[in-house]
Amino acid sequence: MLELTRRMTLARTSFTRIAGCYVDRDGDFEGSFNTNFLKISAPERTKKLKLAKEIPFSATNVNLKKYEFPQSMRKPGSMWQLLMAMNECGLKNDALMDTFYDLVMEKYHKNAAYAILVFHDRYDIPAKGSDGERQWESEEVFEYMICAICPMTGEYEPGKPECGFLFPAFTDRSGDQNHINIFQADADRPHRELLEILGLG
């Protein structure tokens, strides 16, 4: 994941978009947003990059685990199809985003206000030569999303993510649409409902 996280700085980021919604302590919708990532202020971009980076930068196989979407889940009407559609449109379809927020809000357990943040990135994976050195040409364009579910620490101020995911998974320097990387900040007390939301519980 280092290949992705080291680019999550103000100078190097290739994030294209950020979308999200706010949920109050009673679990009710409090508003949403959807904007070009580069159009938000530099200080705000820095804050949001820090939140997004928490997911792929976490300890692999401890806080960040890879799960497979079985063939039975990769079908019309599934969460997998919704995630694929969200990623393919670069988060620009508000109807898809609203559907996703509703599904999360329906099952996510939190007796406090929280935010659902979704980031879209388009990473031009550089090819590597036989000697392991990077080449100038691109090997693949990896389009992916990071979702971070964060407790609110102030008015419209999300804190560190409690859980989230990266989809499609990043496997062997390539996009892996059949898998998803799921993040749990507290590996001993995970939000198991996230697996249920994603159709993996």
> Could you report the per-residue pLDDT of 13-24, keeping only the tens digit for each?
999 999 999 999
Q: Report the Cα 103 to chain-centroid distance in Å.
A: 15
Confidence of residue 179 (pLDDT cuts 50, 70, 90): very high
Please give the Cα distance from 34 to 117 (Å, whole number).
10
DSSP H or E run through 97? helix 94-107
The model scores a pTM over 0.85: yes
Q: Are 181 and 142 in contact (CB under 8 A)?
A: no
Query: Is residue 129 predicted with pLDDT exceeding 90?
Result: no
Query: Is residue 169 predicted with pLDDT exceeding 90?
Result: yes
For the ranges 26-40, 110-124, 133-147, the lowest mean pLDDT is seen at 133-147
Q: What is the mean pLDDT of residues 127-150?
A: 76
> Angle, to 10 degrees, between the axis of helix 94-107 and the axis of helix 79-88?
140
Confidence of residue 135 (pLDDT cuts 50, 70, 90): low
